[in-house]
Amino acid sequence: MRVVVQRVSQASVTVDSKIVADIQKGLLVLVGIEEADTQEDIDWLAGKIIKMRIFGDENDVMNCSVQDIDGNIIVVSQFTLHASTKKGNRPSYIKAAKPDFAIPMYENFVSAIEKEFGKKVQTGIFGADMKVSLLNDGPVTIVMDSKNRE
């Protein structure tokens, strides 16, 4: 499971000209799921994301988590995070999980984040053509892969 975590001042997701998610200060989490992912990957990433200290404290030092600042989270599925660009110019998405596996894993990931976070998480719509808007704060962008924990 691969995620891109972005610290944002504002983020939203629009589908068919309708805003389906909208937050102010918090995290925008893009998540890509592969067939080899398990509940262990979900739990590890959810814990890391919620506890990650990437928000400024009173001295503007990155010492606070999204919970500490009472921020919000949007989670968006993005199969292109598993693109392979080794051959040619057209990315291959062969490692990205098919919807019958990816959808329940995505839903479990959102639930695990909500459980760790203690409040509702907003989401995009799985498989939809989404327009994601964000104001990256910092910028702070962190990429994590549950298969590379060391």
Kindly list the domain boundaries of the chain, sorted by start residue. Answer: 2-145
Question: Cα separation of 7 and 13, whole Å?
Answer: 15
Do 78 and 31 form a contact (C-beta atoms < 8 A)?
Answer: yes
DSSP for 26-83 reads EEEEEEE-BTT--HHHHHHHHHHHHH---EE-TTS-EEE-TTTTT-EEEEEE-GGGG-
| Amino acid at site 54 | I
Q: What is the per-residue pLDDT for 31?
A: 98
Q: Determine which one of 24, 38, 39, 80 is catalytic.
A: 80
With 90 as the cut, is the pLDDT of residue 150 above it?
no
Residues 17 and 27: beta-carbon distance below 8 Å: no
pLDDT digit string (tens) for 99-126? 999 999 999 999 999 999 999 999 999 9
> What's this model's pTM, rounded to 2 decimal places?
0.95
Clarify whether 126 is annotated catalytic.
Answer: no
* Residue of 6, 78, 122, 123 marked active site: 78
pLDDT at 136: 97
> pLDDT tens digit string along 21-74?
999 999 999 999 999 999 999 999 999 999 999 999 999 999 999 999 999 999
Per the CATH hierarchy, to which homologous superfamily does domain 2-145 belong? D-tyrosyl-tRNA(Tyr) deacylase (3.50.80.10)
109 noted as active-site residue: no
55 as an active site residue: the answer is no
pLDDT computed for residue 24 by the predictor: 97
Q: Pseudo-torsion of CA 47, 51, 54, 59, nearest 10°?
A: 180
Which of the following is catalytic: 55, 79, 109, 117?
79
Confidence at residue 149, expressed as pLDDT on a 0 to 100 scale: 80
